[in-house]
Structure 1
Amino acid sequence: MAEKEKLLEVKNLKQYFNIGKSNEVKAVNDISFDIYKGETFGLVGESGCGKSTTGRTIIRLYNATGGSVLYRGQDVHEKKTKSELKDLHQKMQMIYQDPYASLNPRMKVNDIIAEGIDIHELVKSKKERKDKVQELLETVGLNRDHANRYPHEFSGGQRQRIGIARALAVNPEFIIADEPISALDVSIQAQVVNLLKKLQREKDLTYLFIAHDLSMVKYISDRIGVMYQGKLVEVATSDDLYLNPMHPYTQSLLSAIPLPDPSYERTRRRISYDPTSHGYEEGEEVYMREVAPNHYVNCSEKEYKQYQSNYNPK
């Protein structure tokens, strides 16, 4: 079996913000994970856990406080020339959470999508530019004549498709999707996720998919990382995380997912997570340990042994 190609390496990443003179918020607090070419890595957690900040730091919208982000072995946060940054931004693109705020209301769709094409000088004529935009619109399920309209003329789902077309315009290989469906109606969410899966197959894309909806993340992701208060607490394959959730915070997230089964819903028990329940002693080492093959949990030595004994391969 061929070894998977590591596209992105996040190593001990830290992103701290100073609020006032003495209050420091550790939005991302020493996390590490890898993303392999062609896969979707899901990052989940409740609002404020640091998952969106992680995505924005990876793509260098924020400068990291500490640690490193390696893209194809090159550190994203090292000092770079304008040419190097331009090349990096072509390879890495972002789809934003709010399809209303992320599109310039004064620009026509044609110019919104072509903005990256113009910056990276990817076409040689106005006709080629127009053809490329129309091709992208069709790729994301919109019509060619939509190019001459303004964002306010579209629904939320259509605007998010325009955002996806804009990200695809520069032919990236890695896309960070930052809660791309959270602002959309439930009926539209599945359509957008299915579009992302289709594009991944057709264009050999790699995704970091950030969301708080675990059921949707399971549907699209190959592996999932669970974040809590700036730290990764569990990383596993999508199926294994659902079948064998080890960390109590992961268990609490899964217990909140409703199912279309009345008898199950009548007996469904919500699990509350109490971070003080671990009972760690002062100086006790707590870090990510491999409890089972490719299944990592942030835990102490005592918890590690307990999780190993409880693990049930299915």
Structure 2
Amino acid sequence: MAEKLLEINDLKLYFNKGTANEVRAVDGISFDIYKGETLGLVGESGCGKSTTGRTIIRLYNATDGEVLYKGENVHKAKNKAQLLKFNRTMQMIFQDPYASLNPRMKVLDIIAEGIDLHGLAKSKEERTKKVHELLETVGLNREHAGRYPHEFSGGQRQRIGIARALAVDPEFIIADEPISALDVSIQAQVVNLLKKLQREKGLTYLFIAHDLSMVKYISDRIGVMYFGRLVELATSEQLYNNPLHPYTKSLLSAIPLPDPIYERNRKRVAYDPASHQYTDQEDVKMREVTPGHFVLCSEKEYLEMKKTSSVTTE
């Protein structure tokens, strides 16, 4: 059994809590991430997936729940030494490669920020050498260190962002829609780079995206979010071959394929939240329908899914 690196227990993040304008961006979600794997987190815009990533890394303070990293509660880290230790092991790659880099800083100093903060270079020469090695690791040249962000394309900027995240030798990286702002031809290059770095450095990823086909390509397991809640969690194969939650089925039906005949006959599955409401008396929670395949459902729905799944696998 793989080592459990991250454990999320009933995590909540509410904005304007207790007011008429309360927004439950993350509403009691739980999942684990194991060392060396990539967990994909998908859902439509506004479902809370990016907020989940930012809460895990403590860019937002959780309203309730736990984020345990190697058994330690991230949100209970109080002093500077504890925070620095945590920040070194967990890094984030941001969605917008244009806004996430300081336009007034050279690439050398952008990448070296973490090196400086954690005292990872004993001299200016060692600092520069580390940055040059990082640039080459992500497919850029050491000559790029003396340039400013505006001199690069979107794909190159995202590589700089990846180099910055790698600078402190993290174990876990949250990639928050790292390819959504890039051209399709560049997206594959960035994802392949992430997979290559994972193999070479033993990294663990939380890969947040709304492109289901790309998430399937990079992820070992996938969690589906809807309105702040996790509605389904399974391996990539399980989720794509046997989706169980109506919302997941709707998402998968929207994926286009480069096949004209298929596209002419493809039928979209509409998800109507009104037809999937629960009463206050119903026990709605994540239930394991088949080994490793969890769905947010009531007891009645669980028994029906269990019955259907057993017929499907026979």
TM-score for both structures, normalised by structure 1: 0.98
What residue number does 1:217 align with?
215
One-letter code of the match for 2:243?
P
What residue number does 1:139 align with?
137
How far does the alpha carbon of each residue in 1:59-94 deviate from its partner, in whole angstroms, 9 at most, with x for none?
Answer: 000000000000000000014210010010000000
What residue number does 2:102 align with?
104
SS of 1:225's equivalent in the other structure is strand
How far does the alpha carbon of each residue in 1:281-310 deviate from its partner, in whole angstroms, 9 at most, with x for none?
Answer: 341111100000000000011110111122
Question: How far did residue 279 of structure 1 move?
Answer: 4.9
Q: Equivalences for 1:216-235 in 2 at 5 Å?
A: 216-235=214-233
Q: How far apart, CA to CA, are the structure 2 residues paired with 1:134 and 1:69?
A: 34
What residue number does 1:297 align with?
295
How far does the alpha carbon of each residue in 1:180-199 deviate from its partner, in whole angstroms, 9 at most, with x for none?
Answer: 00000011000000000000
SS of 1:77's equivalent in the other structure is helix
What residue number does 1:268 align with?
266
What residue number does 1:24 align with?
22
One-letter code of the match for 2:260?
P
Q: How far apart, CA to CA, are the structure 2 residues paired with 1:241 and 1:42?
A: 11
What residue number does 1:4 align with?
2
What residue number does 1:129 align with?
127
SS of 1:93's equivalent in the other structure is strand
Q: Equivalences for 1:114-263 in 2 at 5 Å?
A: 114-263=112-261
Structure 1 residues 107 and 313, CA, compared in 2 at 3 Å: closer, same or farther?
A: farther
One-letter code of the match for 1:288?
M
8 A Cα contact 2:77 2:83, kept in partner: no
One-letter code of the match for 1:228?
Y
Question: How far did residue 269 of structure 1 move?
Answer: 0.5
Gaps of 5+ in 1: none
Q: How far apart, CA to CA, are the structure 1 residues paired with 2:212 and 2:183?
A: 17
Q: How far apart, CA to CA, are the structure 2 residues paired with 1:308 and 1:276?
A: 23
How far does the alpha carbon of each residue in 1:249-292 deviate from its partner, in whole angstroms, 9 at most, with x for none?
Answer: 00000000000111100000111111121353341111100000
How far does the alpha carbon of each residue in 1:81-132 deviate from its partner, in whole angstroms, 9 at most, with x for none?
Answer: 1001001000000000000000000000000000000000001011111111
Q: How far apart, CA to CA, are the structure 2 residues paired with 1:57 and 1:120?
A: 22
One-letter code of the match for 1:247?
H
Q: How far apart, CA to CA, are the structure 2 residues paired with 1:80 and 1:310?
A: 49
What residue number does 1:95 align with?
93
SS of 2:271's equivalent in the other structure is coil
8 A Cα contact 2:179 2:190, kept in partner: yes
Question: How far did residue 148 of structure 1 move?
Answer: 0.2
Give the % identical residues: 76
One-letter code of the match for 1:240?
Q
Q: How far apart, CA to CA, are the structure 2 residues paired with 1:279 and 1:77?
A: 33
SS of 2:86's equivalent in the other structure is helix
SS of 2:13's equivalent in the other structure is strand
What residue number does 2:62 align with?
64
How far does the alpha carbon of each residue in 1:158-178 deviate from its partner, in whole angstroms, 9 at most, with x for none?
Answer: 000000000000000000000
SS of 2:16's equivalent in the other structure is strand
Structure 1 residues 269 and 87, CA, compared in 2 at 3 Å: closer, same or farther?
A: same
Structure 1 residues 24 and 70, CA, compared in 2 at 3 Å: closer, same or farther?
A: same
Question: How far did residue 153 of structure 1 move?
Answer: 0.2
- Count of aligned residue pairs for this structure pair: 312
SS of 2:76's equivalent in the other structure is coil
From 45, 54, 75, the counterpart of 2:52: 54
One-letter code of the match for 1:266?
R
